[in-house]
Amino acid sequence: MIDEAPAIQTFTDFARPDPQDVDAFRGLQSGFVVDALGGQGALDYRIKPVDPGQSQICGVVLTCDCGAADNLAVAASLRVAKPGDVLIAATSGHMGCAVVGDLVLGMARNNGVTGFVTDGCVRDTRGIREVGLPCFAAGVSPNSPARNGPGTVGAPIVLGGVAVASGDIVVADEDGVVIVPAARIAATIARLAEVRKQEDAMTAKVADGLKGFDFI
């Protein structure tokens, strides 16, 4: 016999990274962050900005595990979110309905949330543009979800093929979404300087007419 799960479980004992560490990633291309992570860390390629004009995210992860066709966990996360957080909502990849629309995202914005990412769908595209909160999703559907649970807020999830935990750092742009695990933040920041140096050097060589790689 399986015990009935509580509608919502909330975990708030995770540590948020130092704001200076978050700022170290602000404005960076997602590809630079991936290179600093050793070539990995990006979510499934199908998770893209709903509005390409609002595609820059840099903040602290707050996870929501919604399950399929439900958004009670997102609603509960609004009570937990702090300014600078980014809501990362797992839907088990369910594409039959939206997990949020413009009203929920508007409330998230009012709580200081700086972005929203899901492996499912969203709706109200026009309203999302007006809300002005960067929103990444795997698709768009006008179908609406239930709000019954069960779900979790703050617990580890897997989304877009990547393990994600509250307190990680998320960086996103037109190319996609990258997760920097909390345990690797310091090492990734240290590696970023070398990545940018190498990228700048190669950019200069290409501009000067480079036609191929020396190692070939």
CA distance 165 to 104: 22
162-164/157-159 β-pairing:
antiparallel
Question: Cα-atom radius of gyration of the chain, to the nearest Å?
Answer: 18
Residue 212 domain-assigned (yes or no): no
Residue 108 domain-assigned (yes or no): yes
138 — alpha (psi -120 to 50), left (phi > 0) or beta? alpha
Q: Which CATH number fits the domain that encloses residue 192? A: 3.50.30.40
Residue 53 domain-assigned (yes or no): yes
Instruction: Give residue-wise pLDDT tens across range 35-71.
Output: 999 999 999 999 999 999 999 999 999 999 999 999 9
Q: How many domains does the chain have?
A: 1
Residue 158 domain-assigned (yes or no): yes
**What domain range is 86 assigned to?**
8-207
Residue 2 domain-assigned (yes or no): no
- In this model, does residue 97 exceed pLDDT 70? yes
Query: What's the mean pLDDT in 70-99?
Result: 97
CA distance 74 to 106: 13
Instruction: Give residue-wise pLDDT tens across range 26-40.
Output: 999 999 999 999 999
Q: Residue 210: what are its φ and ψ, rounded to 5°?
A: -55, 135
Residue 71 domain-assigned (yes or no): yes
CA distance 185 to 170: 11
The sign of the CA dihedral 86, 92, 181, 42 is negative
For 13-19, the CB contacts below 8 A with 24+ separation are: 13/154, 14/154, 14/165, 14/166, 14/167, 15/167, 15/182, 16/60, 16/82, 16/167, 17/60, 17/167, 17/169, 17/182, 17/185, 19/84
Residue 216 domain-assigned (yes or no): no
- In this model, does residue 195 exceed pLDDT 90? no
CA distance 11 to 1: 26
Residue 213 domain-assigned (yes or no): no
| Residue 103 per-residue DSSP state | H
Query: What per-residue confidence (pLDDT) applies to 134?
Result: 98
Query: What per-residue confidence (pLDDT) applies to 213?
Result: 85
